[in-house]
Chains A and B, each alone.
Chain A
Amino acid sequence: MSARVILGVVLAGVLAAGEASAQGAPTAPQGRGAGAGGQGAGAAGRGRGTAAAPPVRRMPDGKPDLSGFYDSVHRGANYGIEEHAGSTLTPPGQGIVVDPPDGKLPLQEWAKEELKSRQTPARGYDDPTAHCIMAAGVPRGFYVPSPFFIMQTPTHIVVLFERMAWRHIPLDPKRKHLPDSIRLWQGDSVGHWEGDTLVVNSQNFNGKPWLNEVGEITSHALTVVERFTPVNANTIMYRATLTDPIVYTRPFTIEVQFNRDPNGEMLEVACHEDNQDLQHMKDVKDAGTGLEKK
């Protein structure tokens, strides 16, 4: 493993401490002892994905119990889903794409050009979360550096994001998706169990969210299949396969680990109520100067 990637891993861990609850910097690649999660002193119950962690919790009906307060080991995905070096103002990322195997997003040609455009400073204004539209879409809510809370009943999973938004995932095999003409920021999700994995199908997206701050792209044609697989009492491995025939040449899959903090609680992110940044970015957009791609 290159030294740069080692540094990136350490940096990503420290960066995540800025907003999420304090995390130890992962010292190993994701999935092997990455000890994120937990607040302050006291590592009791902190999942590390090892044999020492307690086994998967269960609901009375025998299904895994996914409920709890989680941080994700996001590996800098909110600043670039592929592996990327950092620059002065952009954190690095180790990459979360597991398919295609080369870790690269399979963009169509028009989308490659659009992505370059989105990375010019004048277009930062076009990121909906810069406007504090906190419904980050799927799957961005799971790799922004901010925790979330999963509630689970036999018929329902609800995810509450500290960056104020939610997703409902009914566990009803007869549930139909919304009509095609209803489009939502968070899409429309239906879930079912396959063994110990929660499988969630989502569609009815409005195409407005960006996949992250650097403008990675989805459209209204997006459909997502997510798989939540509990590893032990405190760890979930999350995979999402995104299919978007307007933007990509084929589906791709990302993977992120979620770590539960049994003592953690949600706080509140009130972004729009005190958004100082938007005006600065609007000024840049309005100035329309020939700002180079960073």
Chain B
Amino acid sequence: MTVNSQIPTPRFQTARRCTIGAAALAVLCLAAAPVLAHHSFAAEFDENKPIKLSGKVVEMRWSNPHAWIYLDVNNNGKTERWAFETGAANGLFRRGWRKEDLPAGTVLVIQGWQARNGTNTANAGSITFPDGRRLFAGSSNPNAERDK
């Protein structure tokens, strides 16, 4: 698992990168779980510093208005702790996701944009398992047997 920089699929840019027209194409432009916060993303993260990492989940902080996933990433033999900002815990909860659905040790691949202050922090644009399935995908948790 290595640190690897790539241009991630843009989430919000329209005309240039995502061809418009049919709804199906529009869906392809949506790369990731949306991250709606309480502050300007652009003030905290840098769209010119895309990042793609994979690592093992240390913990997930189920907070609002957005949650945080902490990964231990192997960078040339050194383990680095990275913090990724992701969607609101309440949104996940309402779609049936729970804390136990992301156990520590889970391997994730996260694409995003690094924080401007140069720390090991990024805004997660796309979070997938190594096989490409999206974490917390869909409008509800199909495995949830819980009420509400």
Contacts and interface: CB of A to CB of B under 8 A. Distances in A.
A–B direct contact (CB < 8 Å):
yes
Nearest to B14: A4
A87 B26 contact: no
Nearest to B45: A89
B43 A271 contact: no
Interface stretch (B15-23, B52-60, B72-80): B15-23
A18 interface: yes
B88 A89 contact: no
B14 A277 contact: no
A123 to B, nearest CB: 7
B87 A280 contact: no
Interface in B19-44: 20-21, 23, 26-27, 29-30, 33-44
A139 interface: no
B61 A274 contact: yes
B47 A162 contact: no
A14 B63 contact: no
Contacts of A123: 43
A88 B10 contact: yes
A103 interface: no
Interface string A15-49: 11111111000010000000000011100000000
A276 B29 contact: no
Nearest to B138: A22
Interface in B75-128: 83, 85, 87-88, 90-91, 93-96, 113, 115-117, 119, 121, 123
Most buried by A among B10, B21, B37, B96: B37
Interface residues of A, number: 64
Interface of A: 3-4, 6-8, 10-11, 14-22, 27, 39-41, 78, 85-92, 119, 121-125, 127, 129-130, 132, 144-146, 162-163, 213-215, 265, 267-271, 274, 276-277, 279-281, 283-284, 287, 291, 294
Interface of B: 10-15, 18, 20-21, 23, 26-27, 29-30, 33-47, 61, 63-66, 68, 83, 85, 87-88, 90-91, 93-96, 113, 115-117, 119, 121, 123, 139-140, 148
24 contacts: A4-B15, A7-B18, A10-B26, A18-B87, A19-B90, A22-B91, A85-B14, A85-B15, A86-B11, A88-B47, A89-B113, A89-B123, A90-B40, A91-B34, A121-B40, A123-B43, A130-B43, A162-B90, A213-B39, A213-B40, A215-B40, A268-B64, A276-B68, A277-B44
Given A16-B34, A85-B14, 20 more contacts: A3-B20, A4-B20, A6-B20, A18-B36, A40-B140, A78-B36, A88-B10, A88-B113, A92-B14, A121-B46, A123-B43, A124-B40, A129-B38, A145-B36, A267-B94, A271-B64, A271-B65, A280-B44, A280-B119, A283-B116
